[in-house]
Chain A
Amino acid sequence: MQNEHQTDRILRERLENAAVPPPAFVWPGVERELRKKRRKVIFWWFTFAGVALMGTGWWMYTQPTPNAADTVVQSSVDTSSGSATARNQIGLNDQPLSSTDNPVALSPDAAKAGHDALPVAGRAFSAKGKIQFSKNVPELDQASVPDHTPVSLETVVTDNIKPLTVAPVPEKNTVNHRANTPMLPVHIAAPEATTKVERLKRVELAEKIIKKRQNCYDFDENPNAWLLDVYSGPLMAAKQLDNRSGDLELEAYRQKRLETESMGWGYQAGVGITRVWNRRYSIGTGLQYQQFTEVMRFKDDLFVQYFTENNGQDTIDAVFGLKTITKYNRFGMLHIPVKLGYEWRSGRKGVQLKGGAALNVLFWKKGAILNPDTFNPAPFNSGTSSGVEVFNARTGLSLEGSAQFFWHFRRDMRIFAEPYYQAILKPISTETYPLQQRYHLIGLRLGVSRIF
């Protein structure tokens, strides 16, 4: 025992500070791996940002609008020093306006149908934030505004309007009309609009409609547009192994491969350019990169290793039992897709159905596979004597179908989530490989589109 401790101490002393120059190829390998990791980090940040963007957009979209009673309407009016005339002009007098002052009239039907909000069209927003009030606005209801018409209700104000302009005053004089004045300064008069709260509701509804249309690209006005997409997201690769010969030994090999290899998981990212024409039809192309990893876990329960000396003449020991080898098989593909689409829109949201084909321009792979002759793991496409020639240089053509759900967060930008299915038409394995290996890919693209 004493001797053992002494031996350990000597060994530790001798080996603790031992240094052996490493092979020259190690540092380039470290650099390469670090670069890969950095790229992965960038990719995941991008994915996270995409998801966060969509989440924020959805949250904003689903936020309840404050009700009329809580609406704070601010205008640049100095109420403390405003003249009686000005107060009259903007309706700050606490008197209900008569219908004779305001010949804007709603038809009873429209009022009943809840379309009474749009008399607020009598108030128009100028670019500099001035508020203009007018009289003699013709009858107007929501239905009369073309679908997707951008905000400007000025366009619906007719020539006989006599606008009154209230110039902005410095910020410090800005007042909260709800807090300081009992009445919203909007010149609205409809037979039904007898209370201030109703007026506020109408203003709010009108502003909501205006805001919604502000965030919606007008495909009626511009039926042809370009879309630039950037996206990324998760990907699942389902492998299909076929034994066309029916050979029993080959079938055993197929089963063994299926047992040892997992389903592939990975990611995809890409850019695309799409031309929309006639409001709803589209054709697009781009570049799409997909990468996935399959885990191969091989267990050799008949493993035996002999240890010999004297040039292999004397066996001094042997180990036998279970040997487990894990390999990560990686596949990367770059495609150029061409897709046709058709889209439906409702306000800011919509769906686009797409279908098309993709041509593979790059297919790289790295890993190990069971050798069909020995049933032991061997690197594939390695060019070494133990390697197995399994895969083609390219995967060829594939077909793809997808449904893109989008939402406009700005007039010219939209975010989307696009589940898709892609089938690679031909086997990716070579003709000399005894099994046929095919892939079906299912993924989710999360991205953003810019409309030009």
Chain B
Amino acid sequence: MNEETLIKACLRGSAQHQQILYERYAGKMYAVCLRYARSSADAADMLQEGFVKVFTKLDQYHFQGSFEGWIRKIMVNTALRTYQRQRFDMEQSGYEILPDKAIEPDAISRMSEEELLKLIAQLPDGYRVIFNLVAIEGYSHAEVAQTLGIQESTSRSQLTKARKWLADQLDTALKPVKN
């Protein structure tokens, strides 16, 4: 069944087609949610909330642009809303001044997607959201600052800290491989 037929059937309220659509995109969207969530339980909640929005706002999709991109945007917005609902003010973050440390691209290539997702899920809340938005979704710091209601400088510093944190974790994770 092609995408347009499926969407139109969902718009008519067919529960069977809604399930087909869910099954088609749930895996990818769950991976998106896992990147933003603190735990897999939070990610499942986000996925549920996101798909409820997808089905209730489906009439706002005008068959222009990628449908998967439209769903992904809803999932990211749902994740951000969840983050803002349980917001952590991290302006005073850190015990120590962390030196800049770059992530080795080679280290990333050697990890599976699941391992990468697990690693990102372990990032502290503020780091994780900003890292996802900037490094993976491609948002600018200005856009992130506007979306989250923070300073641009905060967004930059959080991203730096996130990278440092990830680099440390990658070092630790890949040590046995290096040896």
Contact B92 A22 (CB under 8 A): no
Smallest beta-carbon distance B167→chain A, Å: 9
Smallest beta-carbon distance B54→chain A, Å: 9
Contact A15 B48 (CB under 8 A): no
Contact B52 A33 (CB under 8 A): yes
Smallest beta-carbon distance A30→chain B, Å: 5
Query: CA–CA, A25 to B23, complex, Å?
Result: 13
Contact A12 B163 (CB under 8 A): no
Q: Mark B156-178, 1 if CB is under 8 A from A, else 0.
A: 00000101010011001000000
Query: CA–CA, A324 to B125, complex, Å?
Result: 13
Q: How many residues of B are counted as interface, with CB atoms below 8 angstroms from the partner's CB atoms? A: 58
Stretch of A69-77, A212-220, A315-323, A401-409 with 4 or more beta carbons under 8 angstroms from chain B: A315-323
Contact A309 B172 (CB under 8 A): yes
Query: CA–CA, A31 to B168, complex, Å?
Result: 42
Is the C-beta of B67 less than 8 angstroms from some C-beta in chain A? no
Residues of B within 8 Å of A144, CB to CB, are none
Q: How many residues of A are counted as interface, with CB atoms below 8 angstroms from the partner's CB atoms? A: 43
Contact B93 A22 (CB under 8 A): no
Smallest beta-carbon distance B156→chain A, Å: 12
Contact B19 A8 (CB under 8 A): no
Contact A34 B86 (CB under 8 A): no
Q: Which of B15, B124, B125, B135 contacts A12 (CB 8 A)?
A: B135
Asked if A15 meets B31 with Cβ closer than 8 Å, knowing A8-B136, A22-B47, A33-B52, the reply is: yes
Residues of A within 8 Å of B48, CB to CB, are 26, 29-30, 33
Is the C-beta of B105 less than 8 angstroms from some C-beta in chain A? yes
Looking at chain B's contact residues, the main secondary structure is: helix
Is the C-beta of A112 less than 8 angstroms from some C-beta in chain B? no
Query: CA–CA, A15 to B109, complex, Å?
Result: 11
Q: Which of A11, A16, A27, A305 contacts B124 (CB 8 A)?
A: A305
Looking at chain A's contact residues, the main secondary structure is: mixed
Query: CA–CA, A7 to B27, complex, Å?
Result: 24
Residues of A within 8 Å of B103, CB to CB, are 3-4, 7
Contact B30 A21 (CB under 8 A): yes
Residues of A within 8 A of B (CB): 3-4, 6-8, 10-12, 14-23, 25-27, 29-31, 33-34, 37, 303, 305, 307, 309, 315-326
Residues of B within 8 A of A (CB): 15, 18-19, 22-23, 26-31, 34-35, 40, 44, 47-49, 51-52, 55-56, 85-95, 98, 102-105, 108-109, 113-114, 116-117, 120, 124-126, 134-136, 138, 161, 163, 165, 168-169, 172
List 7 interface pairs A-B (beta carbons < 8 Å), by A numbering.
Answer: A18-B28, A21-B30, A37-B52, A37-B56, A307-B124, A320-B92, A324-B85
Known: A23-B44, A321-B93. 18 other contacts (CB 8 A): A7-B104, A10-B108, A11-B108, A11-B116, A12-B138, A15-B31, A18-B31, A18-B116, A19-B27, A20-B31, A21-B26, A37-B56, A305-B124, A317-B165, A319-B88, A319-B126, A320-B92, A325-B85
